Structure 1
Amino acid sequence: MKYVALFFLALLLLSAAPLVYRLGIGLSQGYDVENAIRYYFADRPGGTTIGEDKVPLVSYEVTWEGDVENHRLLEASGLAQSSVSPGVLFSVNDSGSDAELFALDSSGNDLGFWEVDTEKNVDWEDLASFMFKGEPYLLIADTGDNFHWRPTVEFIIIREPDTESLAMGAILPVEWKIQVQYPNGYRDCESVAVDEQSETILFISKRTVPAEVYRIPLKPSTQEVRATRMALLNTIPQPSEQDKWEDPKYGLNRSQPTAFDIRGNKAVVFTYKDAYLFKRGWRDNWIDAFSKIPVRIPLPPVYAQEAGLITRSEKFLYVTSERKKGTDRVGLFRVEL
């Protein structure tokens, strides 16, 4: 009996080891471990959204443009089109990777990668391109917070590199950073966009139901700011019974926002399954636009689709995903609007 008890104690310790390891990392980084423990064990009832049958489904032509060539781009968590060279796309890796920016063409061919001059990639989750005062920039969203324990998240702004002239091995300097606090507790976020017209950063919570849209100024007067919640995305429906049947383990996550982009009066929210296209009328602001029912656009059924963009021409979407097991081929897909 003694050995049976010891056996089960060992199993318990082994099963708890990953959690203990994570908590140890959190303590060393100054994260709110107490809140992470509460979040881990909490019952998290969600709100309500409209049903899938209420959102019009529009299918557009989807084409495979090519595979992502650079094998260092293992877990693409953001995708952005160059503001000055339409055939150039940029991407970043998810958490745990080096702080690097990748460039690729619209067929996935490698155009180079460069180190970003910042401490580390804590949890880079999206990428946005924008023009500011006549110059092209990229915003890196270090906003992932799976454990709900980061007191602040960070936006990192760099100048868009010239892929034709910048030497490999060059280090990209940071132009400015923004430390962000949420007004109502910690949030995990993988979906960030820049509205050039209002010079505002908009970003969407991932694990709340309905998803919440927040905003901050693009270049605030102070480095630390408090976000403002501006809208609830209760027009993005929750996973259907079919989703749960097709994927009993992860089907419940299919409606979570994983990428976001804004071009002109169009905003696109990407999820693991579909993209949702919101249009802003000439009298509307984004609060008005997000209160309306969007168009639902089916996306290719690929693994861990967490990177997407709408082109500056507003004619196409591009999406890509993480490499399954870190080694599998991964495609770049185009959706014609």
Structure 2
Amino acid sequence: MAGPKLSALVRLFCVLGLLLTSAWPQAGLAATANETASQQFQVNAPQLREMSGISASPSRANRYWAHNDSGDSSRLFAFDEQGRVLTELKIKGATAFDWEDMSSFRDRSGSYLLIADIGDNLSFRPFTDVYLLTEPQTLTSPQMELAISRHFLLVNEDGPRDAEAMAVDSRERFVYILTKRDIHPRLYRFSLDALTGQPIPLNYLGEVRSIPSEDKHQAQGAGRITRFSPTAMEFSLAGDAAIIVTSGKTYYFPRLKNQTWLHALNQTPTVVNVNRMPQIEAGTFSRDGKKLLIGSEGVPAKIEIIPRPKTK
């Protein structure tokens, strides 16, 4: 049996141990910024069953647009960061073969949304589609209708490609598409000001070899997907950063002034950890660029809000 002095020393060391472990994180359990500050909400729209694309309104704070994956009709859902549905917007003049992503921008002529019907799991589509919409400023009823402003009919001159990631740079006036099932993701673009009435060739820019990092990037089998395959992409409205979303993590890329997007996306990214969700397919920046919103398929649709990473 321990004496009184030894028992007192044991109790003292136990108290010191508890104080030390509460003051510093344990090895391997250090919290990241998004682990301590992120929050998650659910979108109160039972019809939004397979959220595959999300984008912030370029003209209204706390308004977001989202759409389902293949199998749904041509429609968008507007909601806020409290999960309240603002309207269901039916799109006239658009088909919905395999909607995979969306983006938004604002210029001198107005506020716009872009919908990417670019999914091609079997790599057989000779053409894919992107639809341009003029964003409705006032949401007047639970259900609304809107006709497309323009249809971009896209053709890959190097053959069909499956893609789920699209972003727009309104200053350059280019829309970018990143493929999913290539050995290395391939970056393409086309102009918002391309001639109407004819197919638009996609301009191939190069490969993205930065995920999960430059030194750990590995080729994936042709036609296959991995946990590093892009499921969404977005540029900040200010054009100073990008994210690439995958089923496991999201990758953040700051962009320097006058730097090309291909160069920016080929830098080693900041890894953004996202809490487990059923199937992560969507991501965007908030309108002010201070937050990331990462979304998943499932009912109800779940979205995690994460502070934008700080980089030097």
Q: What range is the shorter-chain TM-score in?
A: 0.7 to 0.9
Q: Distance in 1 between matches of 2:271 and 2:254?
A: 12
Q: How far apart, CA to CA, are the structure 1 residues paired with 2:293 and 2:32? A: 16
* 1:193 maps onto 2:164 in alignment: no
CA distance in 2, matches of 1:266, 1:203: 16
Matched AA of 1:260: M
SS at match of 1:321: strand
Report the counterpart of residue 253 of structure 2 in structure 1: 278
Alignment partner, residue 43 of structure 1: none
> What code does the residue aligned with 1:134 have?
S
In 2, Cα distance between equivalents of 1:169 and 1:277: 35
Q: How far apart, in 1, do the equivalents of 2:232 and 2:94 lie?
A: 24
Q: CA deviation at 1:227?
A: 0.5
TM-score, normalization by structure 1? 0.74
Distance 1:303 1:169 in 2: 28
Q: Pick the aligned partner of 1:228 from 182, 196, 203.
A: 203
Does the residue aligned with 2:279 lie in a helix, a strand or coil? coil
1:65–1:106 contact (8 Å) kept in structure 2:
no
Aligned equivalents of 1:317, 1:106: Cα separation in 2: 12
Residue 156 in 1 paired to residue 131 in 2? yes
Distance in 2, Cα, partners of 1:295 & 1:58:
12
Does structure 1 residue 305 correspond to structure 2 residue 290? no
Q: Secondary structure at the match of 2:262?
A: helix
Q: Could you tell me how far 1:111 is from its partner in structure 2?
A: 1.0
Letter in 2 for 1:208: D
Q: Is the 8 A contact 2:187 2:262 kept in 1?
A: no
Distance apart, 1:331 and its partner CA = 1.8
Partners of 2:41 and 2:272 in 1: CA distance: 21
2:301 corresponds to which residue?
330
**Where does the alignment leave 5 or more consecutive residues of structure 1 unmatched?**
1-56, 239-250
One-letter identity of the residue aligned with 2:249: D
Which amino acid letter does the alignment assign opposite residue 255 of structure 1? F
Match runs of 1:175-190 below 5 Å: 175-190=149-164
Residue pair 1:125, 1:141 contacting (<8 A) in 2 also: yes
| Structure 2 Cα separation of the partners of residues 213 and 268 of structure 1 | 14
Would you say the 8 A contact 2:130–2:151 is kept in 1?
yes
Q: Does 1:142 align with 2:113?
A: no
Residues 50-89 of structure 1 mapped to structure 2, 5 A cutoff: 59-61=33-35, 62-89=37-64
Please tell me whether the aligned partners of residues 191 and 259 of structure 1 are also in contact (alpha carbons under 8 angstroms).
yes
The 3 A distance-change label for structure 1 pair 255 and 59 is farther
Look up the match of 1:256: 229
CA shift for structure 1 position 291? 2.7
For the pair shown, the structure with the greater C-alpha radius of gyration is 2
Distance 1:252 1:229 in 2: 21
Residue 180 of structure 2 contacts residue 225 of structure 2 at CA under 8 Å; is this kept in 1? Answer: no
Structure 2: distance between partners of 1:331 and 1:59: 20
Contact 1:231 1:290 in 2 (8 A): no
Q: In the superposition, relative to structure 1, how do residues 283 and 164 fare at CA in structure 2: closer, same or farther (>3 Å)?
A: closer
Pick one of 206, 209, 222 that aligns with 2:180: 206
Distance in 2 between residues matched to 1:216 and 1:104, nearest whole Å: 29
Whether the 8 Å CA contact 1:76–1:321 is kept in 2: the answer is yes
| Structure-2-length-normalised TM-score | 0.80
Q: Matched residues in 2 for 1:235 and 1:169: separation?
A: 42
Quote the RMSD (CA, aligned, Å): 2.0
For the residues of structure 1 that align with 2:244 and 2:174, how far apart are their CA atoms? 17
Gaps of 5+ in 2: 1-30, 214-223
The residue that corresponds to 2:18 in the other structure is none
Could you list the per-position Cα deviations for residues 168-222 of structure 1 after superposition, in whole angstroms to 9, with x for gaps in the alignment?
4432111001011112111111100001110100010011121111100013113
Contact 2:49 2:300 in 1 (8 A): no
Against the structure 1 CA distance between its residues 169 and 314, is the aligned structure 2 distance closer, same or farther, given a 3 Å change threshold? Answer: closer
Corresponding pairs, count: 264
Q: Residue 287 of structure 1 aligns to a residue in which SS?
A: helix
Return the letter of the residue paired with 1:254: R
Query: Counterparts in 2 of 1:83-162, with a 5 A limit?
Result: 83-162=58-137
- State which drifts further: 276-285 or 94-103: 276-285
Q: CA deviation at 1:159?
A: 0.9
TM superposition shift of 1:58: 6.3
CA shift in 2, pair 1:161/1:283, >3 Å: closer
Secondary structure at 1:124 match in 2: coil
CA deviations on 1:91-147 (whole Å, 9 max, x unpaired) are 011111011110011122111102100242110001111113330010000001011
2:21 corresponding residue in structure 1: none
Identity of aligned residues (%): 28
CA distance in 1: counterparts of 2:122 and 2:111, whole angstroms: 34
| Distance 1:58-1:290 versus aligned 2 partners, 3 A rule | farther
- What CA distance in whole angstroms lies between the structure 1 residues aligned with 2:83 and 2:229? 26
More helix by share: 1
